[in-house]
Amino acid sequence: MAVTVTTMRKMKEAGDKITWLTAYDYSFAALIDNAGIDAILVGDSLGMVMQGHATPVPVTIEHAAYHTECVARGVNNCMIVGDLPFGSYQVSKEQAYENAVKLMQAGAHTIKLEGGELQVETINFLAERGIAVCAHIGLTPQSVHQLGGFKVQGRGDAAQQLLDDARRVQEAGAFAVVLEAVPAALAAQITEKLTIPTIGIGAGVDCDGQVLVLQDMIGIYPHKSPKFCKNFMTGNQSVADAVSQYIAEVKAGTFPADEHSFK
């Protein structure tokens, strides 16, 4: 049965963990979908793991739409989340709508964009026009140069800003929010306060769900993976087995462990 926004909301209410992974092509999308993943994120991380860039900034809307098309051909059940790349939504809410439509016409069921309070107007504009939006706060990779690198966000006085961002994107109509590289205790606090699901990546086990970049979790990215990643190929004979183990550990609440989280 197809996974929808309503499915994820009910999973949060029931305390059932939500599983996401990235994918960028037909073959991996079909494998991950068949394994029972809840959602595939066609992330702008493709700029790093598929194109070989140092950041996701060079990814264009044309790249994102192409990879979304490839993924959509391999999916029967899970939700497809299309990632709006850098420069495709920041100019205006109308620009965001135009590019969100491109991703949805390519096969995405929902879209994701980075930013909290600054994106409230855009999230609301899209939601009012029938587009389901996932927000993304904490470490926002498209802003990596402004942030001074891939660093943990929300420590100290910055915690209140993330709490405010989470509340504001929910009020604007986001159906979920990704929390990236956020202290586990803060992510747990945000998760408790929100009625929409939180999807963690380096944000501790108490988020409603987890997402990882596929190339990190099967250990094929040629550079060092972040602390919050785990190589699920270890001890497994196939990618399918590794994905199944990832799903099982997220569902059981054993991944991420303390070693994959930030204090």
Is residue 249 pLDDT above 70, yes or no? yes
- State the pLDDT confidence band at 156, using cuts at 50, 70 and 90: confident
pLDDT band per the 50, 70, 90 thresholds, residue 232: very high
Q: In the predicted model, is pLDDT for residue 164 greater than 60?
A: yes
Q: What is the mean pLDDT of the chain?
A: 94
Please state, for a pLDDT cut of 90, what percent of the chain lies above it. 89
Predicted confidence (pLDDT) at residue 61 exceeds the cutoff of 90: yes
**Residue 165 annotated as binding?**
no
Q: Is the pLDDT of residue 139 over 90?
A: no
Per the annotation, does 27 bind a ligand? no
Is 45 labeled as ligand-binding? yes
Helix axis angle, 158-172 to 120-128, nearest 10°? 20
Section 63-72 average pLDDT? 98
Q: Which one is predicted more confidently, 112 or 153?
A: 112
Q: Any idea what the CATH number is for the domain that residue 213 is in?
A: 3.20.20.60
Q: Mean pLDDT check: name the lowest of 33-42, 175-184, 193-202, 222-231.
A: 222-231
What is the full DSSP assignment across 196-242? S-EEEESS-TTSSEEEE-HHHHTT--SSPPPTT---TTTT-SSHHHH
Write out the DSSP string of 19-69. EEEE--SHHHHHHHHHHT-SEEEE-TTHHHHTT--SSSTT--HHHHHHHHH
Q: Is 112 known to sit in a ligand binding site?
A: yes
Would the pLDDT of 155 be above 70?
yes
What residues form DSSP beta bridges with 178?
136, 199
d(CA 120, CA 98): 17
Is the pLDDT at 233 greater than 60, yes or no?
yes
Is the pLDDT at 144 greater than 90? The verdict is no
Domain that holds residue 147: 5-260
Q: Report pLDDT for 140.
A: 79
180 is catalytic: yes
Burial class (CB in 10 A: 0-12, 13-18, 19+), 190: buried
The confidence score (pLDDT) of residue 142 equals: 73
pLDDT for res 126: 98
In the set 98, 117, 180, 192, the catalytic residue is 180
Whether 234 has a pLDDT exceeding 80, the answer reads yes
- For residue 263, say whether it is annotated as part of any ligand binding site: no
Q: How many domains does the chain have?
A: 1
- pLDDT tens digits, residue range 88-124? 999 999 999 999 999 999 999 999 999 999 999 999 9
